[in-house]
Structure 1
Amino acid sequence: MMTNLFSMFDPSTIFFFNLSLNWMSLLLFIIIIPSFFWFIPNNLVLFYLKLLINLFNEFKIIIKKNNNNFNLMFISLFIFILINNFLGLFPYIFTSTSHLSINLSLSLPIWISSMLFGWLNLTNQMFIHLVPNGTPNLLISFMVLIELISNIIRPITLMIRLTANMIAGHLLLTLLGNMGFKLMYFLLPFLLFLQLILLMLESAVSIIQSYVFSILITLYFSEIY
């Protein structure tokens, strides 16, 4: 029995050694993706490769330095978030990206590593970013404070943005699904049609949010160069 409406996002299935099976959805992509490359290339594999090429070219524009390792890291982050967002739309699969702890673990390490690298190796350039061009002398100290605060809360805003968007759609689908027991029989087709539309919308949100998360963290990372 749920104690509140948001309890449906808490893992509840327990297996061996108090391990929640819901968190196993984080590992499903390891089983799914590599198996594609053992077969003759089909439309799904070609679409996947086309997606990787387009993402690589786009991240290459954002990161000015020609370093393919960074591009591959952000592409992997995009694919990881995208797959977990999509898996959450299937029945009885836990949406791991709807939890703050998972999303913070995706944004915080990259932000900390970029900040440490920037302040230790490019200190003068990091100070320059704190004062926008054309700032009056009287507002320099105030702008430095604002830029510092906005820089510090970046991983938190990334975490909250992804979590809120994932929770909102699943919460609406759950509320509509619980209404089915209270509606008249002739209203059920309309409810199913509405849920189908929302499911299509959630599929689009899954793609958009994974893209926005990876693009924003790439932009933050590129500012240290």
Structure 2
Amino acid sequence: MTPHSPRPSRTDRRVGVGSGIRHRAGRRAALVTGAAALAAASLLLAGCSTLMDSMHKVHSESFDDHVEAAKGWIGVQLPEWIPASATDIRNVATDDETNAVIAAKGGDLPSWCLEMPRQGLPFDTRFGKIGLPDRVQRCGDYEIVDQDGEWIGWYSAREPGAKPSAGAVPVSHLSGSPSPSGSAGGSFSGDAPSGSASPETANG
């Protein structure tokens, strides 16, 4: 006859229950600690990014949509090529605005943008590397490509201290560079209003 195992005493049962509770509590504490560590790491990375921007004399900002971007854009006027329906709009630019890179999701580029040979490349690749495209959309002073459904646009001054125009500027169809009659990075002073094609760009 096989002897039965002795039933655990009430004290043993209480000890077992207590151990289970402590085990679950320990797991919860570990999860909370892990979440706190991740949050702290995120804050640290954000702080490092801000510090690096300051060291390299650049500023960056992000906006949920066009309305917010129009209110909070820093340094220069909000570029008119950014679609009104765009979301997740991000910008990084040198403090003197001589270089800038913009990312925006959704919407269509204005009709005054022209397909032209690429002239330059973004000075900052935090929004994604675009490779070496042969052709880009030229929207005023900005060169723009479609990167997996997201617009990546950049501006690089061709003259010391030049800043980008917000809207259309007359450019040469042969080179993609600003025409002698236009400013290389300043506001377009031709007959067409900012944001619309000039006679030169419209008629080619």
TM-score for both structures, normalised by structure 2: 0.22
TM-score for both structures, normalised by structure 1: 0.21
Instruction: Say which structure is richer in strand.
Output: 2
Instruction: Say which structure is richer in helix.
Output: 1
> Which one scores higher on RCO, CA 8 angstroms, separation ≥ 6?
1
Larger Rg: 2
